[in-house]
Structure 1
Amino acid sequence: MAGGDNRGSDYRGPVLDPAIAAVRLAVRRALVPWRGSGATVLVALSGGADSLALAAAAAHEAAAAGVEVVTATIDHGLQDGSAEVAGRAADAARSVGVRDARVLRVEVGDDDGPEAAARAARYRALTRAAREEGAAAVLLGHTLDDQAETVLLGLARGSGAGSLQGMSPHRVDDGGLAWIRPLLELRRGDTRAFCTASGLAPWTDPHNADPRFTRVRVRERVLPVLERELGPGIAEALARTAEQLREDTQAFADMIDEIIEDIVEPAEAGIAVSAAALAANPPALRHRIVRHVVASEFGASLTRAQTLEVARLATDWAGQGPIDLPGCRATRHGGLVVIAARGARDVPSRASA
């Protein structure tokens, strides 16, 4: 009809907010391994923008992916009103369609500092919750910004490429539980925009603005200076570096696995490495073997200085005493470098047989 209203011919329907589209796409890709399986996936939900966007996107994608989504919110009990904050996070999860939103209270010790202790307690609780739910995977809300901060913190510690590779987007623990970080290619601005566009009110953790915490200082002071002085794109560059180092580290790990089979044997409460065989390897492999043994046996990360001191037990043995390490101790015993839990006898099993 001439002169009529022809708006209908151009109508394409409501436009999905770009941030919502980006987060949903990231989650959709993460759920591909379980598509149509009816598996349960558990979202670690703090109530902050990152995890709230993740939970909402997972709930939206669940039906199409053929999975069940549940959430777990950890109440560390470290702040006044933490129970109320956790309860609101669980309510928010239910409001976006999560079928089961549980709150778990944990006790946080004081070993290795408050950040590390809280993280350890949180991961124990998430693992337990995933087992109870029969979950195949745990989804974590870390973003590209978190990855950049992790790389800088690893660089500051000087603990080698293992720290600089940052957080893995996907790993499977010894119990077969997958730990997935779908948002590692997205920025915090994306998750905040998701929440705004979705009408969600995320919680702002006051600890995230407390300069007593090293990560906060990196976030609020170090990264902005780097962006200002070196130009934009620093966070993305750090994340790319982490990805490249993960590839290199995997190649080294395959080599190390082959070497370790030949030079390592059990020790009381630990492991023993042939000093001669360790010394015969090039420094890059030698130091990675030391770090790998400590990380795999004791879950500890060594600094560069600690790694070199342990290696010297093999390469420059001059009667030096035991070396205290995080959660363990390294000692030269005859032709072996023994790395054992503190308090254990530093004697390999075959020597005590």
Structure 2
Amino acid sequence: MSGPPTAVAAVRHAVRGALDGLEPGALVLVACSGGADSLALAGATAFAAPRMGLRAGGITVDHGLQDGSAEHAAEVAATMRTLGLDPAETASVRVGAEGGPEGAARAARYTALEQSARRLGAEAVLLGHTRDDQAETVLLRLARGSGGRSLAGMPARSGRYLRPLLHLPRSLVHTSCTDMGLVPWADPHNADPAYARSRVRQEALPVLEQTLGPGITEALSRTADLLRDDAEALEAWAREAEERVRDPAGGLDAAALAELPRAVRTRLLRHAAIAAGAPAGALGAVHVAELDRLVADWRGQAHVDLPGGLRGRREEGSITFRAETGSRNAEVPGGGHGDRHTGPAARTAR
């Protein structure tokens, strides 16, 4: 008896590897847009999960950004039910404007997925990102001047979110979708040059492949893996160091911070700002750099304004964070040393 086609077998194997270790009876949800990547993931999960003693369901998010989006979401949910996913639901969201169209849609989507996972009691949410998506992410972040933490790309596992296909090429995943007899939906946004990711996919990566030779996608994905190892080690170092630099009043001892390598110190300052109430998604590298000036290049600056109405201060040799009603959101000192007011800050996406 012959087995499944090679591409189908590869996707099923990747799903089994991602789900390994979950308790029998646990519910896993596939985030499915109806595109080839997520549809292949849905088909593979519907096959593999029950054989591992797991329950498999699916969620499709209606962003409301296109005519007929509600009808399309209903069709995707029906397809998931045909595959055997149960529950198979739609979640409608309202996309805001903050962070640009791509960032706002992403934020709304993850909020909906998290709410659905909590309501249904899901142990894991499976996302259909492929190796090509990883390469695009690294290239986009490289163009923005992101640090090693951002260039590490998307993790295969982050909390309840799993990306089983992250090391598989998009072409193989699309082949598996066809081999399973599934008909994907082609999202017009994926080919719209108004979106940065679309331009990277349709123009930048093909030019790099043509100029530098094949293998760029694999190289970028491999770079992300290597940088993630470094980033995780530095994050662990920063969290361990935070206990040692905490002063009796609850602030951070500036002299002790100054003795740490900058890569560790800036991560520690970022952790502290987020713990004090700065929104992680809005706290950019420019904010952290200005906090670091309070430690390594202090010339009497009064404060650093941070997202979320928060201020970082250096007071009596201690770095502290307090909510300030007069703080201007998402701004940092923009002039020379000793600034008391702020200039515009750059925003970062993802």
Which of 133, 147, 157 is 2:144 aligned to?
A: 157
Query: Residue in 2 aligned with 1:112?
Result: 99
Contact 1:159 1:303 in 2 (8 A): no
1:1-353 residue pairs with structure 2 within 5 A?
Answer: 13-34=1-22, 37-172=24-159, 178-264=160-246, 272-294=251-273, 298-300=279-281, 303-327=284-308, 329-334=310-315, 335-340=317-322, 343=325
Displacement after TM superposition at 1:330 (Å): 4.2
Displacement after TM superposition at 1:337 (Å): 2.9
SS at match of 1:98: coil
Contact 1:24 1:58 in 2 (8 A): yes
Q: Which has the larger radius of gyration?
A: 1
**CA 1:107–1:303 in structure 2 vs 1: closer, same or farther (change >3 Å)?**
closer
**CA 1:70–1:224 in structure 2 vs 1: closer, same or farther (change >3 Å)?**
same
Contact 2:303 2:314 in 1 (8 A): no
Displacement after TM superposition at 1:30 (Å): 1.1
Q: Between 110-119 and 39-48, report the one with greater CA deviation.
A: 110-119
Unaligned runs of 5+ in 2: 329-350
- RMSD of aligned Cα (Å): 2.4
Unaligned runs of 5+ in 1: 1-12, 173-177, 347-353
Contact 1:147 1:184 in 2 (8 A): yes
Q: Which amino acid aligns with 2:260?
A: N
Query: Residue in 2 aligned with 1:3?
Result: none
Matches of 1:337 and 1:110, distance apart in 2: 33
Q: Which amino acid aligns with 1:282?
A: P
**TM-score, structure 1 as length reference:** 0.85
Contact 1:147 1:239 in 2 (8 A): yes
Matches of 2:274 and 2:171, distance apart in 1: 34
Contact 2:304 2:313 in 1 (8 A): no
**CA 1:42–1:265 in structure 2 vs 1: closer, same or farther (change >3 Å)?**
farther
Q: Which amino acid aligns with 1:332?
A: R
**TM-score, structure 2 as length reference:** 0.86
Displacement after TM superposition at 1:248 (Å): 1.3
Matches of 1:244 and 1:99, distance apart in 2: 37
Displacement after TM superposition at 1:160 (Å): 0.8
